[in-house]
């Protein structure tokens, strides 16, 4: 490109969303917002004029003034949420809010002991959750880093800007629009830039577009708008990296005005996950019951027994009895324990505790292809001659080209294609030649040439050419029909998702003068080299594990459809012809049509960020729980749209910050470990909820019935509180239980309707057992030796309540295990079994202990306990039968 004169013409003033339009002040451009895209259609000269700069860069004083005006070249800071703020946010959890309200009502009704216990449980739950998430936040903060640290910038000397520019390293955050920078292999592009000069430049845009292959860039004057900004060869964007070549570019946009920041800002708010939706549903069920229960108790007491407001504490106690007070503590303990084990054993950081439940409930897992199913490098698939037959000589010639181009063109490192060729070839094949000269690859010729001398062939040089099929074939001495046949052969290989390179050679008399691209004529075609993406070592095993766990995998990629389908074929993922959609197909569908198509589609190809987000939202619209694994800026909309967003440790900063779960490595087996932990935690939570709510519902039904049947309060508020404390303490064991491996076979979602159906059946069973106990107590109260009928009734029901709750804990869990395994023999008691045994002992001994009279309870005749065993035996059998039937219906 010809040198571009400096100018101080009036600049263009592009504007970004969320930032007001600006007008140029003296000495600087009005560049804001979508500067890169607004200036993309201009020539290099027009761009420099618009930015009020030149090819020699800015002076230090001008750069400093622009830095003050436009701000540092950094993304908006991502602040760590303080622990107290996380504690207060935990109060927004629906169950926690319900408990808080009940605690306040208890305080208003002077039930101080109940209020204190409830408020302590709320505080413990919020502290556990805040501490777990705060630890995860600090772990993620340790992974943060700048997109780049320094950049090579050209600055003109002061005071008049005369003399040659000086190249110097400056911190990336000091770059301003109008700076001229140099790009070299391995550099991270520090801002959105427009190329002024380029030599063999190619960049990795995978973090922005998902494309696995490097993209060639060149300093063209203008380019068509088709394909979007990333397809323009003269533009490079922050977040990409230089794969090969070098260039000089002018900075178009920095900081919050870059495309990198725009994708992040456009990701939108995070959608509520499965756990939040389920908790809200169950909370409203409980709230309706709790609002209904106290008025019923008050009305029944007033109508049948003439009681007034003295029944209010009991009515509040009944509402409290329906509420699973330990739910926030047990849920938080289950999730925090699972998250801690994941972090300690597999390096997986769960940033948001409910996301661990969502991992266990995931039914569809959406993956990017590049770096997840495949490594970030290609491998040689086959070497073919002109007839499409295997020919190792083609690979040898390609390796000669790769090796001597690297050595003689003074490249810092081979590109990924050349590295794959040299890895596949025998080293002796390319070391048997002596290098003479090299013409490195450039994006215009789309080929590279190495000139070598073969031992034993004095006076002759061999040109070895490797590159794009079309460009190599047009330089070969071929008949048009033969050239068309070879092009068709290459197209068939490419249609299989392979990258195809052509290899040709030519003999020339040895000479001393330089070789030029004009010598790349009259070549002899040697064959084709096909390459495919290298599969991730653990991908196949992880996919088999996902299938065994009932997970459906879908691929969302920026690559071509053929490439993605090829990877699926190599990994034994079945892809039907109608199970592939491209971005154009997605755009042609409305939301309802896309939701239907997404369910039967396996591969979504050529996806832009907005396509990925829309696809994930469509999958979720039918109630499916969706997880998404992504590592680039182009994945942000999908990370936000998914129930649980997952990012590897090496992801770009904003993707890692936006994810719910951060993997130690970009390894699918880590997701399998996380899903396993999520299902274990969710299984314990679901079992706890079913056991607790069914038991509590049965107790409430029995309390309402007793309020109608007996002339005194069936249970004193202090007794209700003591019973709840004992039961709640026993249920902490669920946080440490290990569910049966059958839990891992399918997603473990917390579904309000399923829970309501379950607790209705088992709550009714519990109520029947309580009513049978009332009949038994009516008989026992008339026995000789029972002096205080009210205290005896309280004691008998208190003991029966704790024993039935212990039976529910053990037998419902046992029913699911026996159904899954067919095992009916004795098992060693786990945490839940030991807790249930302790609960039974407390139920038997507390009424006859010194604490019994303080709580209004007394001793019962021994025969009562024998008769109670007779009553509870059919209850236990009914639990086992109903539990097995429930398991059978669910599976």
Q: Which residues are catalytic?
A: 368
Q: What is the 3-state secondary structure (H, E, C) of 641-672?
A: HCCEEEEECCCCHHHHHHCCEEECCCCHHHHH
CB atoms within 10 A of CB 854: 10
Sign of CA dihedral 343, 346, 352, 357: negative
Q: Which of 773, 826, 831 is nearest to 802 (CA)?
A: 773
- The answer to whether 565 and 434 have CB atoms below 8 angstroms apart is no
> Which structure tokens are listed for 5?
């004169």
Strand partners, 581: 604
- The answer to whether 266 and 220 have CB atoms below 8 angstroms apart is no
- Find the DSSP H helices in 824-890: 831-845, 851-854, 862-890
Strand partners, 556: 604
Q: In this structure, what DSSP letter does residue 633 have?
A: G
Q: How far apart are CA 125 and CA 165, in angstroms?
A: 62
Place of tokens 């409910």: 354
Sign of CA dihedral 319, 321, 322, 326: positive
Q: What are phi and psi of 532, to 5 degrees?
A: -130, 165
- The answer to whether 720 and 248 have CB atoms below 8 angstroms apart is no
Q: How far apart are CA 680 and CA 784, in angstroms?
A: 52
Distances, alpha carbon 25 to alpha carbons 11, 48, 522, in Å: 10, 16, 59
Q: What is the CA radius of gyration of the chain?
A: 36
Q: What are phi and psi of 512, to 5 degrees?
A: -95, -30
CA 388-393-394 angle, 5° bins: 55
- Count, residues in the chain: 891
Q: How far apart are CA 535 and CA 665, in angstroms?
A: 16
DSSP strand pairing (374-384 vs 524-535): antiparallel
What is the CA 807 to chain-centroid distance, rounded?
A: 40
**What three-state secondary structure class fits 251?**
strand
**What three-state secondary structure class fits 350?**
strand
DSSP strand pairing (447-453 vs 460-468): antiparallel
**What three-state secondary structure class fits 28?**
coil
Distances, alpha carbon 602 to alpha carbons 539, 591, 614, in Å: 16, 18, 15
Strand partners, 412: none
Which secondary structure element, helix H or strand E, spans residue 314, and what is its range?
helix 312-322
> Which structure tokens are listed for 27?
């000495």
Q: How far apart are CA 851 and CA 794, in angstroms?
A: 13
CB atoms within 10 A of CB 522: 13
474 backbone φψ class: left, alpha, beta (φ>0; ψ -120 to 50): alpha
Distances, alpha carbon 171 to alpha carbons 60, 72, 150, 176, 396, in Å: 14, 10, 4, 11, 45
* Strand ranges of the sheet holding 603-605, from the earlier edge strand across to the other edge: 349-350, 661-663, 644-648, 626-629, 364-367, 552-556, 603-605, 580-582
Strand partners, 166: 155
- The answer to whether 839 and 733 have CB atoms below 8 angstroms apart is no
């Amino acid at each position: 490109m010809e040198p571009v004169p400096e100018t101080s013409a009036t600049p263009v003033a592009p504007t970004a969303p969320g930032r007001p339009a600006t007008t140029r002040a003296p000495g600087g451009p009005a560049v804001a917002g979508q500067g890169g895209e607004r200036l993309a259609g201009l020539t290099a000269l027009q761009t420099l004029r618009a930015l009020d700069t030149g090819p020699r860069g800015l002076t230090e004083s001008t750069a400093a003034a622009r830095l003050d005006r436009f701000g540092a070249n950094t993304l908006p800071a991502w602040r760590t949420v303080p622990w107290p703020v996380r504690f207060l946010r935990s109060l927004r959890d629906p169950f926690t809010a319900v408990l808080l309200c009940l605690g306040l009502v208890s305080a208003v009704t002077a039930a101080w002991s109940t209020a204190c216990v409830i408020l302590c449980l709320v505080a413990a739950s919020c502290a556990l959750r805040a501490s777990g998430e705060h630890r995860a936040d600090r772990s993620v903060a340790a992974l943060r880093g700048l997109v780049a640290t320094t950049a090579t910038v050209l600055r003109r000397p002061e005071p008049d800007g005369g003399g040659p520019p000086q190249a110097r390293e400056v911190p990336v955050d000091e770059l301003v629009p109008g700076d001229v920078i140099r790009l070299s292999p391995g550099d991270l592009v520090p801002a959105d830039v427009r190329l002024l000069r380029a030599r063999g430049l190619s960049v990795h845009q995978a973090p922005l577009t998902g494309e696995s292959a490097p993209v060639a860039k060149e300093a063209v004057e203008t380019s068509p708008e088709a394909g979007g900004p990333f397809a323009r060869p003269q533009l490079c964007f922050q977040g990409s990296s230089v794969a090969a070549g070098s260039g000089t570019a002018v900075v178009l946009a920095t900081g919050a005005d870059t495309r990198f920041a725009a994708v992040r800002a456009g990701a939108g708010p995070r959608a509520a996950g499965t756990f939040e939706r389920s908790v809200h549903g169950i909370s409203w069920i409980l709230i309706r019951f709790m609002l209904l229960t106290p008025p019923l108790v008050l009305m029944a007491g007033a109508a049948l027994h003439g009681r007034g407001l003295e029944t209010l504490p009991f009515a509040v106690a009944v509402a409290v009895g329906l509420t699973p007070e330990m739910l926030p503590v047990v849920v938080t303990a289950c999730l925090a324990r699972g998250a801690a084990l994941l972090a300690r054993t597999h390096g997986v950081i769960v940033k948001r505790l409910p996301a661990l439940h969502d991992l266990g409930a995931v039914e569809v897992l959406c993956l990017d292809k590049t770096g997840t199913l495949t490594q970030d490098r290609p491998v040689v698939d086959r070497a073919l001659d002109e007839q499409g037959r295997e020919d190792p000589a083609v690979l040898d010639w390609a390796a000669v080209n790769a090796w001597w181009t690297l050595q003689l063109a003074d490249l810092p490192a081979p590109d990924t294609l050349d590295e794959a060729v040299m890895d596949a070839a025998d080293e002796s094949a390319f070391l048997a030649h002596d290098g003479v000269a090299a013409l490195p690859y450039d994006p215009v010729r789309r080929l590279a040439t190495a000139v070598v001398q073969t031992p034993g062939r004095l006076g002759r040089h061999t040109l070895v050419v490797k590159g794009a099929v079309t460009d190599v074939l047009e330089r070969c001495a071929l008949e048009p029909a033969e050239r068309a046949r070879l092009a068709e052969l290459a197209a068939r290989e490419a249609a299989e998702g392979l990258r195809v390179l052509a290899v040709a050679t030519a003999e020339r008399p040895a000479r001393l003068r330089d070789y030029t691209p004009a010598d790349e004529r009259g070549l002899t075609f040697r064959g084709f080299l096909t390459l495919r993406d290298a599969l991730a070592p653990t991908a196949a095993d992880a996919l088999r594990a996902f299938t065994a766990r009932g997970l459906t995998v879908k691929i969302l990629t920026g690559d071509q459809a053929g490439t993605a389908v090829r990877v699926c074929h190599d990994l034994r993922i079945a892809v039907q012809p109608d199970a592939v959609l491209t971005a154009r197909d997605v755009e042609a569908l409305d939301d309802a049509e896309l939701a239907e198509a997404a369910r039967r589609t396996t591969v979504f190809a050529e996806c832009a960020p907005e396509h990925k987000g829309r696809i994930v939202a469509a999958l979720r619209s039918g109630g499916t729980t969706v997880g998404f694994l992504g590592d680039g800026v182009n994945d942000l909309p999908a990370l936000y749209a998914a129930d649980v967003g997952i990012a590897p440790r090496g992801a770009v900063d904003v993707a890692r910050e936006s994810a719910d779960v951060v993997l130690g490595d970009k390894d699918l087996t880590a997701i399998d470990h996380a899903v396993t932990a999520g299902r274990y935690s969710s299984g314990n939570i679901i079992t706890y909820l079913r056991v607790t709510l069914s038991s509590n519902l049965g107790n409430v039904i029995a309390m309402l019935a007793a309020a109608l049947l007996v002339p005194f309060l069936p249970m004193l508020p202090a007794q209700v509180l003591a019973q709840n404390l004992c039961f709640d303490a026993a249920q902490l064991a669920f946080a440490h239980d290990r569910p049966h491996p059958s839990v891992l076979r399918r997603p473990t979602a917390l579904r309000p309707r399923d829970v309501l159906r379950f607790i209705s059946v088992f709550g009714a069973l519990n109520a029947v057992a309580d009513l049978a106990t009332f009949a038994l107590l009516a008989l026992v109260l008339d026995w000789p030796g029972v002096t205080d009928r009210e205290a005896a009734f309280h004691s008998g029901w208190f003991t029966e309540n704790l024993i039935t709750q212990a039976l529910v804990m053990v037998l419902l869990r046992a029913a699911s295990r026996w159904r899954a395994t067919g095992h009916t023999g004795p098992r060693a008691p786990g945490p839940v079994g030991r807790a249930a045994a302790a609960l039974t002992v407390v139920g038997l001994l507390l009424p006859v202990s010194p604490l019994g009279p303080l709580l209004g309870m007394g001793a019962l005749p021994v025969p009562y306990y024998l008769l109670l065993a007779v009553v509870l035996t059919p209850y236990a059998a009914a639990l086992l039968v109903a539990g097995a039937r429930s398991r059978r219906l669910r599976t």
